[in-house]
Structure 1
Amino acid sequence: MNPSLLLSQFDYHLPPELIAQSPPAQRGASRLLHLDGQGEPHDKMFAELPSLLNPGDLLVFNDTRVIKARLHGQKDSGGKVEILIERITQPHTALAHVRASKSPKAGSRIRVADAFEATVLGREGELFELEFPGRVLDLLDEHGSTPLPPYITHEAGQEDDERYQTIYAHQPGAVAAPTAGLHFDQAMLDTLSARGIRQTFVTLHVGAGTFQPVRVENLDEHHMHSERYSVSAETLDLIRATRAAGRRVVAVGTTSVRALEAAAQQPDQTGPLEGDTRLFITPGYKFAYVDALITNFHLPKSTLLMLVSALAGMEPIRRAYAHAIQSRYRFFSYGDAMFIEPSRP
C-alpha cells in the first residue's frame, strides 16, 4: 500500500436527497454510468449493459443471501436491546453487534422479540457471542427483520424483504446485500446468456463492517473487517479459460472483487478456495483476476470507494462521481449503477 494515501483523499460532498431510499419500480430500471477505458463517463440505462460486454466475457456474481439479521429485545433489567447478527458461527451460536444503554455481561440473558431468550457467552472485540435456543437461521426467519443500511431511514417492510435480495441469492449468511446484483432480473440474465456472455458465482457473506467508517487518516493504520468467502474449482477454471481466450472477467459488485482477489492470493489455485478475508484494496493494488466491474455508488471515505479508485484510478473516479452528482444519479444500495472499465497501460 502507498503510505501517502490519506482518508481525506476519498471524501466528496453528496446532497442528501441523492441517497436512494427505495428501489426503482422495476429491477433493472436504473441508470448506468459507464466509465470507459479512457476514464470518460457516459450516461446510459442499465438495460444497455449487454451492449457494453463482449461474447466470451465472464460475469462473476455473489450468491450470498441476506438473512433477517436485526432483532429487538430487552435485558433482564428491562433495558431495550438491538441485536444485529454479524456472523452465524454454529447452528445455535452467532457473533453480533449489541446496542444497549449498558453492555450485557457474559452469562446474562436477552429476551428477544418476546419469544425466546439468547444467552451472552462472551465478547470478541466489539462483537458479542450469543447462544440461541434453536437454529439461528430459523429464529431469524421467524422473528428478525431485513437489516437495511443505516442511511435508509424507513423500517424494513415486505418490499425490502424481496428487493434487498438478489434474484439468485442462494447461500444464507450476509447482513448486507451485494447491491450491484440487485439490478439484474431473469430477463437480463437470459439476454446476457443469449449474447454468449458467461456467468458464474462466488460467495462472500457481506458483514455489517462494510458500513463501518474508516476512523484513521493514514490508511496504513486501518484494520479491515473480516468476511467469509468461497470460490469453487469450476469458477477458477472458468476464470483461467476466459483470460486465456483474451476475454474479460467482470465482477458484479465489490464483494465479488474481494472474493476473487482473496482467492487469487492463495498459493494453491486448484480450488475450491475458501476462508476469511481482510483484504484491503486501495490504489496501487495489482488486480489478479478482475478486469472490469459493475457496481453501485459508494459512501465518502469508505473502503469500497477506495477499491473502485484502485481499479479505475483516483482521478477518473473523482470525475465520474462529480458527473453523477451533477447529473442527479441515485446513490448507494438502492441507487443507480456504474460499469467501470479500467484504463489499459
Structure 2
Amino acid sequence: MSMRAATLPVQRPHDARLLVIDPRGHIEHRPRSAFADLLRPGDCVIANDAATLPASLQGIHLRSGAQIEIRLAGRASLDPEDVQRFTAVVFGAGDFRTPTEARIAPPELAPGDQLTLGILAATIVRMLDHPRLVELQFHGDAAHIWRALAEQGKPVQYSHLHDPLALWDVWTPIAAQPVAFEPPSASFVLDWRTLDALHARSIPFATLTHAAGLSSTGDAALDQCLPFDEPYRIPAATAALIAATRARQGRVVAIGTTVVRALEHAASRDGIVQAGDGIATQRIGPQTRLRVADVIVSGTHEPDTSHYALLRAFTDTLTLLGASEELEAHRYRTHEFGDSVWIERRACLLRDGQKRPVDARERERSVTC
C-alpha cells in the first residue's frame, strides 16, 4: 500500500479527512472536522488520555561493547513508582532514519547482560521468546529513572518522518499521565473545538488510560506478537457513562484501538465494563465478538498490522479491502500523523426486523446481511 505518509509532524492537519464506513459497509468521505456531526443523541465518546513516554534510549551492550537502541514496549502497571522493570525491544546501532526492517541486529543477548543507557544502567533479567525481546531492570529509584528518561529518552518514531520528533509532537490534546510507548494517535482527531462541539450536541465525553504499545518492531515474527499485554485504568465515571449509554441504546464510540482493547477486556467477564485497573491480554480480530464498542475512530493502517486486524472485528474483509482501495485512490495519509477512519459495527436484520450486532465470524460467512 502506498498511501501518502506525512512529512512533518502535524498532528491535526487542517485538511485531515475521515473515511466513514456505516453498518451496511457503505463508504463515504468527510472532512475530519465533521467528526461530531456523525454522533447522535444518546451516544458517548471514550478516548485514551495517556501521554507518551520518551521510550527510545541509545546505549551500549557492555559485554560486546556494541551500540544499541532500546525501545521500551511494556510494563506491569501504570503505577508511577513501578518503573524498574520493562519489556523492551533491542535494535542494533542506528536510529529511526533507517526503516525498522532494515536495522542491523543487536549483539547476542543473554540474561545478566549489563546495559548503559546514558546515566541509566540496566540488566537484562530474561529473554522473552525472541532474540530481540527482553525484560530489563533499571537500576536506581523511580525518581532517578524518570529524570533519566526525561533528559535523554526520545519518542519512538519511524522513518516515514524525516525530522526528529519532540516529545510534545507525540502528546495528544488530552494527554495526561505519561504511560504510552507510542502515542494513542487516534486522539489527534480531538481538539478543544471538537470537544466544544460534543458539548453543544450534548454528547458525553470521558477518558480511560491505556499504555499504548509499539506498532512495529521490524521483525515479522515479533510483529505477530503485537500488541503486547498492556495495562489500563478505567475510572468509575467512565464505566458508569458506558453503562448509561448502553441502557439508552446509544452507541459507544471508541477513539482508537487502545480504547477498544481496554473496554473489551474490562467487559470480558459479564459484558459490563468494570472500573479499575487491568491488563489487556487479548488479541482482537475477525474471531472476536465485541461486547462494548459500537464505533471505532482510528488512524489508517496497513493490512499486515495488528491495528488493522482489530478493525476486522468491526466489519468484514471485503469492506475493509474496499476501504483500502478508497484510501489509496484518494491518497489518505497513513501513520500517527495522518487521516482517520470511522467504522461502525456491522449489523444484520433479524426476522422480527430488529437489528443486532454480529461478530466477525458471521460477517465472513455472509457479507450481504
1:27 and 1:138, CA in 2 relative to 1: closer, same or farther beyond 3 A? farther
2:50 pairs with 1:64: yes
In structure 2, distance between residues paired with 1:269 and 1:55: 22
In structure 1, distance between residues paired with 2:32 and 2:332: 12
Paired-residue identity, %: 27
The match for 1:140 among 149, 159, 162 is: 149
Conserved 8 A contact 1:70-1:84: yes
2:137 pairs with 1:130: yes
In structure 2, distance between residues paired with 1:122 and 1:303: 25
RMSD: 2.5
Unaligned runs of 5+ in 2: 77-81, 93-105, 349-369
Shift of 1:179: 1.2
How do 1:30-179 and structure 2 match up within 5 A?
Answer: 30-76=16-62, 77-89=64-76, 90-100=82-92, 101-113=106-118, 115-125=119-129, 126-135=133-142, 136-148=145-157, 150-158=158-166, 161-179=167-185
- Partner residue of 1:278? 281
Q: Deviations over 1:203-227 (max 9, x none)?
A: 211122x3257958xxxx9786211
1:282 and 1:88, CA in 2 relative to 1: closer, same or farther beyond 3 A? closer
How do 1:182-331 and structure 2 match up within 5 A?
Answer: 182-208=188-214, 210-212=215-217, 225-267=228-270, 269=272, 271-331=274-334
Aligned partner of residue 123 in structure 1, secondary structure: strand
1:25 and 1:283, CA in 2 relative to 1: closer, same or farther beyond 3 A? closer
Aligned partner of residue 211 in structure 1, secondary structure: coil
Shift of 1:309: 1.9
Letter in 2 for 1:127: V
Which sits farther off after the overlay, 300-309 or 264-273? Answer: 264-273
Which sits farther off after the overlay, 257-266 or 278-287? Answer: 278-287
In structure 2, distance between residues paired with 1:311 and 1:91: 35
- Partner residue of 2:186? 180
Conserved 8 A contact 2:56-2:153: yes
Shift of 1:287: 1.2
Aligned partner of residue 72 in structure 1, secondary structure: strand
Aligned partner of residue 312 in structure 2, secondary structure: helix
Q: Deviations over 1:54-106 (max 9, x none)?
A: 13311010111110010101233432111111234533333322224413444
In structure 1, distance between residues paired with 2:163 and 2:12: 21
1:240 and 1:214, CA in 2 relative to 1: closer, same or farther beyond 3 A? farther
Shift of 1:157: 2.9
Shift of 1:280: 1.5
Letter in 2 for 1:109: Q
Greater relative contact order (Cα < 8 A, sep 6+): 1
- Partner residue of 2:366? none
Unaligned runs of 5+ in 1: 1-13
In structure 1, distance between residues paired with 2:274 and 2:238: 9
In structure 2, distance between residues paired with 1:116 and 1:225: 24
Aligned partner of residue 197 in structure 2, secondary structure: helix
Conserved 8 A contact 1:58-1:198: yes
Q: TM-score, normalised by structure 1?
A: 0.85
